[in-house]
């Protein structure tokens, strides 16, 4: 479980690094997406900031609590994992429906779906009273 938690923290830190880089205009999103200059697409992207922030915060906090065997650590971690999965699924779903298939965008969002599934599976197989 320790390795899975480390991977989750890396994903959460990378997620927040994406938002920091986006806010500082370090990522040329206008070249990555065909319509990123469109205000609606930009608003859609920024609408993920609260979800991603909550997912990363709960993921890191839950990982910390589980590592220290604190009450509600597993529950908080599962909520964070669920939000992370949902963020990835929503992004991939939108771009699929929009018809914009860009692996540079899809790969990180697919990882946001895979990592929580792996960590949650590992977490659920563990004895919570150990």
Report d(CA 106, CA 25) in Å as an integer. 20
What are 41-96's pLDDT values in tens digits? 888 889 999 999 999 999 999 999 988 888 899 999 999 999 999 999 999 999 89
Q: Is 99 helix (H, G, I), strand (E, B) or coil?
A: coil
CA-atom Rg of the chain in angstroms: 16
Domain that holds residue 112: 2-26+37-125
Q: Which two three-digit tokens encode residue 83?
A: 């939000």
In a domain, 50, yes or no: yes
In a domain, 57, yes or no: yes
Q: Which two three-digit tokens encode residue 84?
A: 């992370």
Report d(CA 14, CA 24) in Å as an integer. 15
Task: For the full predicted model, state whether its pTM sits above 0.85.
Answer: yes
Q: Which two three-digit tokens encode residue 66?
A: 């589980």
In a domain, 130, yes or no: no
């Amino acid at each position: 479980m320790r390795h899975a938690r480390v991977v989750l923290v890396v994903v959460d830190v990378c997620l927040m690094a994406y938002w920091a880089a986006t806010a500082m205009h370090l990522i040329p999103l206008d070249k990555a997406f065909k319509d990123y200059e469109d205000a609606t697409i930009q608003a859609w992207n920024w609408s993920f900031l609260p979800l991603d922030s909550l997912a990363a915060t709960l993921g890191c906090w839950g990982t910390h609590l589980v590592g220290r065997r604190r009450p509600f650590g597993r529950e908080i971690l599962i909520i964070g994992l669920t939000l992370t999965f949902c963020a990835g699924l929503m992004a991939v779903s939108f771009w699929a429906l929009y018809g914009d298939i860009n692996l540079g965008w899809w790969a990180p969002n697919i990882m946001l779906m895979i990592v929580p599934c792996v960590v949650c599976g590992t977490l659920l197989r563990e004895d919570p009273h150990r």
